[in-house]
Homo-oligomer: A and B are copies of this chain.
Amino acid sequence: MTLTEQPAHNGVDVETLFATIDAVKANPQIAAFRFRADNQWLSGTNSRTTIYTFYGAMQELTHVEPRSYDADHPAVLTGKDRGSTPVEFLLHALAACLTAGLANIAAARGVRLTEVTSTVEGDIDLMGLLGLDPAVRNGYQGIRVSFRLRGDDPDALRRAFDQSVARSAVLDVLSNGVPVAIDVDAG
């Protein structure tokens, strides 16, 4: 790789990306991943999640370090504001997933990105989760995503973005839902 080629890769290791795709084609078991989060209640609406281990490529793996994230409610929602709210982390996940996908796809296509920023907003009516109106859902009623992309080829950027939208794991889950099984041990 030369320095003049590098910018088009957007910081993405394209050789590894293609090697990963080839490896999965050869052995689909490599593609079975399991991600985890461990949470501990601290006080009030404040809890802390640690993310470290995951399963993939037919083995238990770890991130380079354990990472912890506090979540809480702001004062207006009876919390101490010791972290972002759980529903805000959903918006973060969506922005980050679409951005990572775009960077990978643009790199694979040799499309150079110079700037990607986004804002994600979600509307929620607390009449639902407070149990005050059974016609109102608990969660977001709608989410709006706004992306600004800059690079050498606006049309190619837009097509790469459309492909990221078509392949986003987080967008799929938020748009279509996923079965959630819940087990509780109360003692």
Interface residues on A, range: 35 or more
* Interface 1/0 per residue, A135-147 and B, CB below 8 Å: 0011111111111
Number of copies: 2
Q: Are A185 and B148 in contact (CB under 8 A)?
A: yes
CB of A184 within 8 Å of the partner chain: yes
Chain A interface, >50% SS class: mixed
B99 near A145: Cβ-Cβ < 8 Å: no
**B71 to A63, Cβ gap below 8 A?**
no
Which residues of chain A have a CB within 8 Å of any CB of chain B? 10-13, 16-17, 20-21, 24-25, 28, 30-47, 49, 51, 54, 56-57, 61, 63-64, 67, 69, 71-74, 76-79, 81, 83-97, 99-104, 107, 113, 115-133, 137-150, 154-155, 157-158, 161, 165, 167-187
